[in-house]
Amino acid sequence: MFIVSLIAAPGALEPELVHGLRNAWGGGDALWLSPDEAAEFAIAEVPANQWDVWADVQARGVDLVVQAAEGRRKHVLLADMDSTMIRQECIDELAELAGVGEQVRATTARAMNGELDFEEAVIERVGLLRGQPEGIIADVLATRITLTPGGAELVATMRANGGYAALVSGGFTAFTQHVGETLGFDENRANGLTVENGVLTGEVARPILGRDAKVAAMTEITDRLNLSPSDVLAVGDGANDLGMLARAGTGVALHAKPAVAAECDVRVNHGDLTALLYLQGYSRDAFVTK
C-alpha cells in the first residue's frame, strides 16, 4: 500500500484537485490533514504517470509525494541548517558584513549545486573572513538570521512522539548551537571557525564536516539509538546533503537546488517545514509547539 500526499501553502490546495487525482488513480477516501493545505489518500501501486502528474501539480503550487505507507512515520530527524532550518547561508551573511559578499555568494551557489568540491569551497570562503572580529558572528545571528517557518513544530512534534532530532550542518557551530537550542534539537554538529585574540583566523577546524560526515552522523546516531537509516527522516537542500538524503528512509529535498532535487523522489518546493509532518501522516491539530 502507498500513500499519496498533496501539500501546498495554506489555502492553496483545492479539493477538486485532490478528489480528481484520487479518482484518476483509484485511491481510497481522501483524508484532510489540514483544510485546503494538506491531504492524502491510499493507492495499491505507484502510478506509471507519477512524474507527469507531479509536474502538472507543481505548476499549480502543489507538492506531490508517493511513498510506502508502512514505516513512513520516522524516529529520527536529521536536518541540514543553512537554507533548510534557517532561510540563509551563514557564510554568505558573514561575508556581507565583511565586505566580500558577492564573491562568497557565487562560490556558495556553485558548491551547493555540486559544481565545486565542498571542503575546498569552505576553506576558500572562510579564508576571506580572516581578520574579522569574532563579534561579527553575534551581529549576524542578531540581525540577519531567520528561522524557516514550520521548523519549531517539526522538531517539537517529532520529539513529543518519541523522536530524536539532530542538526547536522556543513556550516559553523557558532550558528548550529544557537539554532539547535532555539528549535529544541537534541544535538548539533558543524564546523568550527578558529579564533585567536578575538579575531577570526580564516581557518576551519579539521576535520571539515561535509557530505561524508553527514552520512557518518546518521550511522552513529542510529547505532546509538538501536535504529537503522530506514528510521530516519533527513532534510536538506544542497549537494553535500545528497549522501544522507539517499541513505535515509525518507530523504526530503526542501526548496532544493535543481541538481539536488533531481536526485530525490521526495521534493518539497511549496510547503514549509510542516510539510515533513504531513508526509508522516500528522494532522495540523496534532502539531506540537515548543
| Judgement on whether residues 66 and 77 belong to the same structural domain of the protein | no
Query: Once rounded to an integer, what is the mean pLDDT over residues 199-222?
Result: 94
Active site residue 63: no
Averaged confidence pLDDT in the chain: 96
List the CATH number of the domain containing 236. Answer: 3.40.50.1000
Both 212 and 284 in a single domain? yes
The verdict on 14 and 80 lying in the same domain is no
Classify residue 135: in a domain, yes or no: no
Q: Is residue 142 included in any domain, yes or no? A: no
Q: Are residues 83 and 32 in the same domain?
A: no
Catalytic-role residue among 82, 92, 241, 272 = 82
- pLDDT at position 195, please? 96
Q: Are residues 33 and 160 in the same domain?
A: no
The residue to which cell 526530503 is assigned: 252
pLDDT of residue 120: 92
Same domain, 286 and 228: yes
- What is the per-residue pLDDT for 112? 86
So what's the pLDDT on residue 113? 86
80 annotated active-site: yes
| Residues 271, 285 within the same domain | yes
Tell me how many degrees the CA angle 6-231-186 measures, rounded to the nearest 5: 100
Residues 156 and 286 in one domain: yes
Q: Are residues 27 and 82 in the same domain?
A: no
Residue 34 lies in a domain: yes
Instruction: Assess whether 2 and 36 both reside in one domain.
Output: yes
- For the segment 221-276, what is each residue's pLDDT rounded down to a tens digit? 999 999 999 999 999 999 999 999 999 999 999 999 888 999 999 999 999 999 99
Instruction: Give the percent of the chain with pLDDT over 90.
Output: 94
pLDDT digits (tens, 9 = 90+) for 10-65: 999 999 999 999 999 999 999 999 999 999 999 999 999 999 999 999 999 999 99
Same domain, 57 and 82: no
By C-alpha distance, which of 51, 43, 48 is closest to 22?
Answer: 43
- Grid cell 523522536 in the structure block, residue: 163
| Residue 136 placed within a domain | no
> Identity (one letter) of the amino acid at 146?
T
> In whole angstroms, what is the distance from residue 13 CA to residue 60 CA?
9
Q: Which structural domain range is residue 30 located in?
A: 1-70
- Asked if 186 and 164 touch (Cβ cutoff 8 Å), the reply is yes
Active-site choice (80, 92, 231, 237) = 80
